[in-house]
Amino acid sequence: MYTMDAWLSDYPDASTLFVPRLTGPGTTPSANLDFSLMGATGSELSRWGYPAAIVPSVDQRIRDCQSMEGADRPACWAMLDRYLMARVVPWVPVLSQVRQVVTSARVRHFLFDPWTGVPALDQIVIATG
C-alpha cells in the first residue's frame, strides 16, 4: 500500500504522532491514520480480510507514556520510538521536501514555521537602510 502521510513537528509532545498511528482501540483501516494496523485484534483483522491473526501492540507502552509528567514523559516517548524502530516497524520516509527561498539581500534572518510550512513572520529580520 502506498500512502502520503505528513510527519510534522510533534506538539506538544510525541503523543500527536504515536497515538493516532499506533493505537489499537477503534482501529479501522479507512478512518484512522493507523496504516500499520498495530494493536488490531484478531477478529478485526479477520473482518477486514487480513490473513494475519495477530499483530504487535504498543498500546500499554503508549498509555504508560501518556501517564507520565515532566522530563519522564519525553524520555518515555524516546524509548518507545527506539523500540519501534529497532524491534517492530522501522518506518523510513521515502520522500523528503526541500525548500529554496529567494530573498532580498536585506533579509538577515528567515525561517519557515515547521508546523505550518509557511514563513514565520516573527522570525524574519530585515536590515535597515
Residue 4 is which amino acid?
M
Question: How many CB atoms within 10 Å of residue 77?
Answer: 21
Length of the chain: 129
Domain boundaries, the chain: 15-88, 98-129
Nearest-Å Rg of the Cα atoms of the chain is: 20
By CB neighbour count within 10 A (0-12 exposed, 13-18 middle, 19+ buried), where does 105 fall? exposed
Q: Are 22 and 61 in contact (CB under 8 A)?
A: no
pLDDT single digits (tens) 63-72: 999 999 999 9
Q: Are 76 and 65 in contact (CB under 8 A)?
A: yes
pLDDT single digits (tens) 77-100: 999 999 998 988 777 766 666 777
**CB contact set of 125 (below 8 Å; sequence gap of 6+):** 107, 108, 109, 110
What pTM was estimated for this model as a whole?
Answer: 0.62
